Structure 1
Amino acid sequence: MTIVAPKTPNLALKLPTDEGILLVEGEDRPGLVRAISSALSESGANIVSLDQYTDDPEGGHFFQRTVFHVDDFAAVRLAIEASLDAALGGGLDLTWTLADRSAPKRVAILASTSDHCLLDLLWRQRRGEIPMTVPMVISNHTVVADDVRSFGIPFVHVPSQGPDKSAAEERILELLVGNVDVVVLARYMQILSEDFLERIGVPVINIHHSFLPAFIGAAPYRKAKERGVKLIGATAHYVTGDLDEGPIIEQDVVRVTHADTAVDLQRRGADVERAVLARAVAWHCQDRVIRHGRETVVFQP
């Protein structure tokens, strides 16, 4: 089954053409930047920007993000990939990925009843603030259906009642596998199985409220008010089989006081959740994130 994103006007989204983004990582050693630059220049590419980092100058791990321009990128991409493979994949044993900067990421959004993160992402996508298309929004409720359709985006209701979520996950997999580049959980209040995460085949990004202590379960903001918290925040992370333990992409906090009610905390929490998730999704779609074990390296703008 092939899902085609609706052709809605998006005058604000104008991505650069004939530009590639190269992400590289591997064991650090002298000469890596030169080797990467040489491989690109031999392919006729001109480097536009370059960011690199090593976690230890002696025997550490190396990370680099390079944006480059080359005439008719789509036509010469295979030749560039062959050059990179020969230069970086042999003796240097580097891992690399190459992306077309003009191709927005296909982002499927999963949601439940809360709409603040969902609608914020759709609004930013419509304004061209995030280089992505949204082929569909899937929800286990119908509360947000009309709002989603008002953006010209397909809405699919996949109920997920009861302890057995396998049928719902099968339906979601049927809709998404092969059709999207990333899945975003915009306050999707369901736990995804390890089987689902393996079969979906693309990164999954989640947003989670951040508290100390951790208020698990229903009504976290009421519990936070009862404990007199002074900070509330949010964490965006990649989803793994370990619940809420995946590599962190972005975090932020806001200060609160004793005068804030539980409703105030929830409103301010929603604000920071929107901002944190938007940044995380944008950075992922801009190929600024390299996952490394349980952590990430994020080349921020």
Structure 2
Amino acid sequence: MGLASLFVGVSSVSPGLLWAEGGTGPATEVLLTSRLPRTLALALAGTGLALAGLVLQVLVRNRFVEPSTVGTTESASLGILLVMLLAPGLPVPARMAVAAGFGLAGTGLFLLVLRRVPQRSPLMVPLIGLLLSGVIGAVTTFIAYRTDMLQSLGAWSTGDFSIVLQGRYELLWIVAGLTLVTAVFADQITLAGLGRDMAIGLGVNHGAIRALGLVLVALLSAAVIVTVGIVPFLGLVVPNVVSLIMGDNLRRTLPVVCLSGAALVMACDIVGRLVVRPYEMPIGLTMGIVGSAAFLWLLTRRRGHGA
């Protein structure tokens, strides 16, 4: 999939052409300044969002949640909008920190609401999350409307990797570090997902590990949103499909989830490049179609098994 991403696009780039140019021609320049950074960004973003969904599902103990369905993504978007309005000159790492802080606050608000609402069905959890996401998204849209920022909001909130060039994606390498941190604490996060009493009984600091997991989710989501925008449903689809095959052990499923997330994002991006060639469809659109269909399938499948 990675090789296909390197050689699919409007500009002609192929192994034969690169060989003929001897590494100094236009095709080589396109490969190094656009295609290779874009492919790396796709892999890192897919890894980060799939991992964020996996960690969140383990901690919340519900398979129907991910950052874009619990208010994390919308809260991070609100943070970025406020930065654009109040401090437009803020460096990119600082923007990511603000987005992560807002994302963490949104996730915390979701968990707080979740505690106060009786959960008679597993479907109540994503329903609450979608309602909260809608409210936060409406607030963000209202602020953008009142400040003439609707066009800017729409431009960067839709996931789009066509803007990725050398020097404009490197923030995503933080995903690699966060993935290593998740791998180190994978067993503790799995135990924390069993519940407070069970985790404490097994010697795990439930509060600290839960807080760590939520910070990881917020940072992973913010890094992707700041760099390429919102890619919906990825963190929902990939962990669910992997869990159906391999179970719920975080340490065992983590590498498969990361690789599958990267592969799915690359596949959706390649489809977006080919469907309306020589133009492109944003990956937010292609992933939204695939993800919403998969979400409906998962809902009907779980309901059928529960019946």
TM-score, normalised with respect to structure 1? 0.24
TM-score, normalised with respect to structure 2? 0.24
The structure whose residues are more often strand, as a share, is 1
The structure whose residues are more often helix, as a share, is 2
